[in-house]
């Protein structure tokens, strides 16, 4: 039994568990600490993260374990009552507000608390993933966000993480993404939500391992990190580190890559899934066409959601899954011009040059003969590999031919390969002397870029050019600048190349440079590494398919790089279609052009093309199409045959997929009235992020975070203009100041390049003005040096707000509670009551006003502290007469007050707990019917049953005395002014707070 349990249980105010709620003060090693978060461990009791309060450890961060250290949670019966001599009782009001802010919302609170406070448009469809994650439909916040390309999955993830943080369930966050979107994801979460993620790419991990002691776990150095899946999938190197960490939330982007059991990515996911509370998977293409494989993905979220992995319906997993397309009613109706409609896909016909016609003739005669002819190749699919290489470029053709020759020359069967080798040598001779002058597509590309799109010296127009072949990309990057008229340094800077062979740093640099308006980059030539997750729409609405992938999914993914939420101009697409007059030639009109038309049709009618073939993977689509071409089918016959189920071995698969990828959960909740134009909303409708009255989810004493911050600065730094060099622009709302040492220490969690580029350790620029913050973000995108904005939006999660909140909390002495002279008829004690579960998370949080009448032995409770304070006149205009009040009789009543509060909480506990209890009981019933034949399955079942039980409220409430409202000795009922407030009997219909 720990010291805290001993001391607290003697006072009768805690449970048998170690409870250290966020915002509470504890004494460890004879120093005072403020609890930031706590969670149980298997061996060492409760792990608590704290920040120092007392002078010797002030602002230092530390971690303690109740099984290793004596952690004393202060006994509320020993509370010291002190007078507040600050103007308008500012210190007391700030302290109460700070406690409200630092207390995690209970698990039973399902509503969003912070949705209106971030730098994102008020679109209800983007809130729905967070609402579903918190709805209680699942045992834990676990969700697959499967919105199609471009709808804003990163914003949906950011909002979900923000809500988890506000609930004390997001202290330790791990985000796993493809390497080329690391910085993009990190940038969005900080600039939009003020959630800092430390980027641990391969270089970052190496740097940390050099700085920390040998053998130290690099993931313990930071609480919130982002790392590439390519770095982390090396489970042999990192598995033992990952197995030692428990996360509050794990995000895995592009999670369709996790499906294949046994792959390194799958092993990584299976390592992380049981070691996190919240798990958010994101993918625009989450299905590979196999119901069993998809069940594996869903099993990461909830192992018991699917009983039979070969037979299940969308309804079985609707609590774990959300998917919308651009034409979904809730998306379409809410966009209202915020996403420009895409234009058509233009096919630019490029008649083959004489040199190219010779290659077409050779391919048609020898490699892909019609009328039942036999190909010279013994590998059925290789002739189409040759064809696709040639349709890309002569450079790609040469590389493919050369690689095949080397392969055949190593074989021990010279007679069996002689004919194919001879044919390869002839192709090699035909391709050897080809240059850009012999390329019809290159000539057409230059015309399109210069004449139709307007790319060239003196123009700001940008375009992204896609090709499947690295050799094509490298060739284009070499010859394009001169062909476009660029010279000298401009020729070196106008084109950037991106493909999978580059390092993650190089790929991220390409994306960032292309997205900055002032950089000289005009053309990004890229492979399909950029077709997943990369934002290329900031400065670009033009896309050219230099060659066309033989997959509808891949075409859609490419187009989605510029056709996405936030695109201000109609996206335009062009595809270069190489045509031939050679007899039997399979030019781009045979496959590529028809696929472009089918993708465009599917996008406009269905919102997505990925379900057209029923294969759900780009590689499977291409392989199936080539096999059908070998059978003599056309592109349309191949696509239609797949959707009709003619080739399906599983007759039930199509029905499942149609159900699954149909309008899942499209009934949108009614949109809430929200300010969108920056004008002042109606009183009482403003959001908690600094624009007025608090959300009904959050109990607040101050009308806005801006008001709280202003008063906190005045209280903590009375001479802020000198001490912090504070400068405030009243017109724009910009705050500029020099961060003190303790704030600089907190800023270490911010991206290092952001800290360096904006010199944040020397001066910070922050604001509550959304328009100013948005303008700063846009200006950063137009910069040639950095995409990080110099001005950040102050949200409840911003380090500046958290720092000042903690400064206010520690401004009150150890276990002190202020006395406030207010408009009350008798003393009213403000008491916080918290029920928790076995994991230490609050399940019920109550803010109460309690009166104890000694004469009658009666205790009265009002469980809406915020409303009570307003009725009692506690606010910024109240006068502080600084009159001394003897605290002795008030302290003598403390045991009775706490007993009254606990009795009230116990009376209503079951009613408050019901919204939490029912979903847990439903899950346990479902778990009871889940049968697993393996020992591992039974252990999983036991673990989930224990988890379900651990989420229920347990034990007695933790109580804390926050303040005492005392009567004004100069006031009597009947005097001028509002009537004195007296508490009624204990509430029979308690409020939500």
CB 72 within 8 A of CB 7: yes
pLDDT band at 209 (very low <50, low <70, confident <90, very high): low
Q: How far is CA 847 from CA 606, 841, 981, 993, in A?
A: 50, 17, 17, 7
Q: What is the pLDDT of residue 307?
A: 83
The answer to whether residue 179 scores a pLDDT higher than 60 is yes
Q: Which whole number is the average pLDDT over 88-112?
A: 93
203-212, 397-406, 780-789: range with highest mean pLDDT:
397-406
- Strand ranges (DSSP E) for 838-969? 842-853, 858-862, 953-967
**Weakest mean pLDDT among 143-152, 199-208, 421-430, 836-845:** 199-208
Nearest to 114 by CA among 177, 20, 225, 195: 195
Quick one: tokens of 755? Answer: 């800290």
Q: Which whole number is the average pLDDT over 688-707?
A: 70
The answer to whether residue 670 scores a pLDDT higher than 60 is no
Element (H, E) at 282: strand 276-282
Question: Model-level pTM?
Answer: 0.82
The answer to whether residue 197 scores a pLDDT higher than 80 is yes
CB 353 within 8 A of CB 347: no
What is the bridge-based pairing of β-strands 828-837 and 734-737? unpaired
The answer to whether residue 638 scores a pLDDT higher than 50 is yes
Buried b (16+ CB within 10 A) or exposed e, 193-228: bbbbbbbbbbebbeebeeeeeeeeebbeebbbbbbb
The answer to whether residue 101 scores a pLDDT higher than 90 is yes
CB 342 within 8 A of CB 686: no
pLDDT band at 688 (very low <50, low <70, confident <90, very high): very low
The answer to whether residue 653 scores a pLDDT higher than 70 is no
CB 265 within 8 A of CB 255: no
pLDDT in tens, 323-349: 888 888 888 778 766 777 887 789 999
**Weakest mean pLDDT among 50-64, 388-402, 740-754, 863-877:** 50-64
What is the bridge-based pairing of β-strands 523-526 and 495-498? parallel
The answer to whether residue 115 scores a pLDDT higher than 80 is yes
Quick one: tokens of 964? Answer: 């005492």
Q: What is the pLDDT of residue 762?
A: 94
Nearest to 466 by CA among 575, 546, 562, 576: 546
* 614 Rama sector, left if φ>0, alpha if ψ -120 to 50, beta otherwise: left
Q: What is the pLDDT of residue 250?
A: 97
25-39, 528-542, 755-769: range with highest mean pLDDT:
755-769
Please give the mean pLDDT across all residues of the chain. Answer: 84
Q: Which whole number is the average pLDDT over 819-829?
A: 95
pLDDT band at 12 (very low <50, low <70, confident <90, very high): very low
End-to-end CA distance of the chain: 32
Nearest to 957 by CA among 819, 850, 817: 850
CB neighbours of residue 236 within 10 Å: 9
Q: Which whole number is the average pLDDT over 216-242?
A: 79
The answer to whether residue 930 scores a pLDDT higher than 60 is yes
Q: Give the SS3 label for residue 657.
A: helix
Q: What angle do CA 815, 817, 821 make, to 5 degrees?
A: 170
Burial class of 443 by CB neighbour count within 10 A (0 to 12, 13 to 18, 19+):
middle
Q: What is the pLDDT of residue 992?
A: 38
Strand partners, 736: 727, 765
**Weakest mean pLDDT among 424-428, 820-824, 942-946:** 942-946
Q: What is the pLDDT of residue 566?
A: 81
CA distance 309 to 292: 5
Q: What is the pLDDT of residue 646?
A: 45
CA distance 81 to 819: 6
- Strand ranges (DSSP E) for 627-730? 727-729
Q: What is the pLDDT of residue 654?
A: 43
**Weakest mean pLDDT among 607-616, 840-849, 863-872:** 607-616
**Residue 190 contacts by C-beta under 8 Å, 6 or more apart in sequence?**
196, 197, 750, 751, 754, 792
The answer to whether residue 802 scores a pLDDT higher than 60 is yes
Which is it for the CA torsion 966, 967, 968, 969, positive or negative?
Answer: negative
CB 827 within 8 A of CB 967: yes
Q: What is the pLDDT of residue 841?
A: 83
Q: What is the pLDDT of residue 161?
A: 98
CB 27 within 8 A of CB 74: yes
CA distance 795 to 118: 7
> Which letter does DSSP use for residue 550 in this model?
S
Q: What is the pLDDT of residue 722?
A: 93
Q: How far is CA 759 from CA 183, 229, 737, 765, in A?
A: 19, 30, 12, 10
Q: Which whole number is the average pLDDT over 687-711?
A: 72
- Strand ranges (DSSP E) for 823-936? 828-837, 842-853, 858-862
Return the higher-pLDDT residue of 477 and 661. 477
Q: What is the pLDDT of residue 202?
A: 66
Q: Which whole number is the average pLDDT over 592-604?
A: 90
Q: What is the pLDDT of residue 608?
A: 81
pLDDT in tens, 294-315: 888 898 999 888 888 878 887 8
Q: What is the pLDDT of residue 416?
A: 66
> In 315-439, which ranges are continuous DSSP H helix?
329-335, 354-362, 382-392, 394-409, 414-432
Nearest to 243 by CA among 225, 220, 222, 259: 220
Q: What is the pLDDT of residue 423?
A: 95
Percent of the chain as helix, strand, coil, to the nearest 5: 40, 15, 40
Tokens 């003393």 belong to: 827
CA distance 763 to 487: 41
**Weakest mean pLDDT among 342-351, 390-399, 490-499, 832-841:** 832-841
Tokens 């040998």 belong to: 214
What is the bridge-based pairing of β-strands 953-967 and 816-822? parallel
Tokens 């609707």 belong to: 318
The answer to whether residue 360 scores a pLDDT higher than 70 is yes
pLDDT band at 661 (very low <50, low <70, confident <90, very high): low
Q: Which whole number is the average pLDDT over 526-538?
A: 83
Strands of the sheet with 71-73, listed across from one edge:
61-65, 46-52, 31-40, 25-28, 71-73
Q: What is the pLDDT of residue 480?
A: 95
Q: What is the pLDDT of residue 616?
A: 73
Return the higher-pLDDT residue of 455 and 223. 455
The answer to whether residue 681 scores a pLDDT higher than 50 is no
């Amino acid at each position: 039994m720990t010291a805290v349990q001993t001391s607290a249980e003697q006072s009768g105010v805690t449970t048998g568990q170690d409870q250290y709620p966020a915002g509470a003060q504890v004494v460890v090693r004879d120093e005072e600490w403020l609890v930031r978060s706590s969670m149980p461990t298997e061996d060492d009791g409760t792990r608590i993260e704290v920040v120092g309060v007392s002078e010797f450890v002030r602002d230092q961060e530390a971690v303690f374990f109740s099984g290793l250290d004596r952690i004393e949670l202060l006994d509320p019966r020993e509370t010291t009552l002190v007078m507040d001599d600050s103007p308008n009782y500012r210190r007391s009001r700030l302290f109460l507000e700070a406690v409200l802010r630092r207390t995690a919302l209970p698990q039973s609170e399902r509503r969003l608390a912070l949705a209106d406070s971030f730098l994102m448009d008020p679109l209800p469809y983007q809130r729905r993933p967070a609402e579903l994650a918190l709805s209680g439909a699942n045992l834990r916040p676990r969700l697959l966000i499967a919105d199609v390309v471009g709808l804003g999955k990163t914003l949906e993830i950011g909002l979900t993480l923000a809500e988890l943080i506000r609930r004390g369930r997001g202290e330790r966050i791990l985000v796993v993404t493809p390497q080329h979107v690391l910085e993009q994801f990190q940038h969005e979460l900080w600039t939009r939500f003020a959630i800092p993620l430390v980027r641990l790419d391969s270089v970052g991990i190496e740097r940390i391992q050099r700085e920390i002691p040998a053998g130290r776990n690099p993931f313990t150095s930071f609480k919130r990190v982002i790392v590439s899946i390519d770095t982390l999938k090396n489970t042999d190197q990192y598995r033992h580190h990952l197995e030692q960490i428990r996360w509050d939330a794990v995000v895995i982007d592009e999670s369709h890559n996790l499906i294949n059991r046994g792959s390194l990515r799958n092993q990584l996911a299976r390592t992380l899934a049981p070691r996190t509370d919240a798990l958010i998977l994101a993918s625009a293409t989450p299905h590979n066409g196999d119901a069993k494989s998809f069940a594996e993905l869903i099993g990461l979220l909830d192992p018991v959601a699917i009983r039979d992995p070969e037979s299940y319906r969308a309804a079985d997993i609707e609590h774990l899954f959300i998917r919308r397309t651009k034409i979904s009613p809730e998306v379409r109706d809410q966009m209202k011009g915020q996403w420009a409609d895409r234009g058509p896909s233009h096919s630019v016909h490029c008649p083959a040059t004489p040199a190219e016609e010779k290659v077409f003739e050779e391919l048609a005669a020898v490699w892909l003969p019609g009328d039942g002819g036999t190909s010279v190749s013994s590998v059925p699919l290789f002739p189409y590999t040759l064809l696709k290489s040639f349709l890309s470029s002569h450079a790609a053709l040469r590389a493919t031919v050369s690689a095949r020759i080397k392969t055949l020359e190593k074989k021990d069967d010279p007679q069996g390969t002689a004919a194919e080798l001879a044919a390869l040598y002839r192709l090699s001779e035909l391709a050897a002397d080809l240059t850009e002058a012999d390329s019809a597509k290159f000539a057409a590309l230059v015309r399109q870029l210069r004449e139709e799109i307007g790319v060239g010296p003196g123009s700001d127009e940008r375009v992204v050019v896609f090709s499947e072949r690295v050799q094509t990309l490298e060739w284009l990057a070499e010859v394009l600048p001169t062909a476009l008229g660029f010279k000298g340094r401009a020729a070196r800077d106008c084109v950037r190349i991106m493909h999978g062979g580059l390092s993650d740093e190089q790929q991220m640099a390409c994306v960032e440079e292309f997205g900055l308006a002032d950089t000289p980059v005009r053309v990004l030539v890229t492979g399909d590494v950029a077709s997943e997750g990369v934002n290329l729409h900031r400065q670009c609405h033009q896309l050219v398919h230099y060659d066309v992938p033989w997959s509808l999914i891949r075409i859609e993914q490419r187009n989605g790089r510029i056709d996405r939420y936030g695109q201000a101009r109609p996206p335009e697409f062009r595809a270069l279609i190489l045509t031939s007059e050679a007899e039997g030639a399979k030019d781009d009109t045979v496959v590529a052009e028809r696929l472009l038309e089918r993708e465009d049709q599917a996008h406009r009618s269905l919102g997505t093309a990925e379900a057209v073939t029923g294969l759900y993977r780009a590689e499977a689509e291409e392989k199936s199409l080539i096999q059908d071409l070998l059978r003599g089918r056309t592109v349309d016959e191949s696509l239609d045959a797949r959707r009709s189920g003619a080739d399906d071995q599983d007759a039930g698969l199509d029905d499942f997929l149609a159900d699954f990828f149909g309008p899942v959960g499209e009934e949108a909740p009614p949109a809430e009235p929200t300010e969108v134009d920056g004008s002042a909303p109606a009183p009482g409708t403003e959001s908690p992020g600094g624009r007025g009255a608090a959300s009904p989810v959050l109990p607040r004493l101050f009308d806005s975070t801006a008001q709280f911050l202003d008063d906190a600065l005045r209280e903590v730094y009375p001479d802020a203009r000198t001490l912090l060099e504070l400068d405030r622009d009243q017109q724009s709302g910009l705050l500029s100041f020099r961060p003190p040492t303790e704030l600089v220490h907190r800023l270490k969690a911010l991206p290092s390049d952001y800290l360096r580029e904006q010199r944040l350790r020397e001066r910070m620029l922050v604001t509550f003005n959304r328009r100013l913050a948005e303008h700063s973000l846009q200006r950063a995108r137009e910069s040639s040096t950095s995409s990080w904005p110099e001005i950040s939006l102050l949200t409840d999660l911003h380090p500046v707000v958290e720092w000042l909140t903690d400064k206010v909390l520690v401004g009150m002495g150890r276990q002190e509670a202020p006395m406030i002279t207010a408009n009350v008829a008798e003393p009213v004690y403000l008491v916080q009551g918290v029920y928790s579960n076995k994991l230490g998370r609050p399940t019920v949080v109550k803010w109460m006003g309690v009166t104890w009448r000694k004469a009658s032995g009666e205790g009265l409770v009002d469980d809406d502290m915020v409303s009570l304070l307003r009725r009692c006149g506690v606010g910024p205009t109240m006068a502080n007469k600084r009159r001394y009040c003897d605290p002795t009789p008030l302290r003598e009543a403390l045991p009775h007050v706490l007993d009254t509060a606990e009795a009230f909480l116990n009376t209503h506990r079951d009613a408050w707990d019901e919204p939490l209890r029912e979903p847990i009981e439903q899950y346990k019933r479902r778990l009871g019917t889940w049968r697993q034949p393996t020992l591992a399955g039974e252990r999983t079942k036991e673990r989930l049953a224990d988890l379900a039980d651990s989420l229920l409220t347990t034990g007695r409430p933790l109580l804390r005395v926050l303040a005492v409202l005392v009567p004004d000795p100069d006031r009597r009922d009947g005097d001028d002014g509002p009537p004195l407030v007296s508490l009624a009997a204990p509430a029979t219909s308690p409020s939500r707070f």
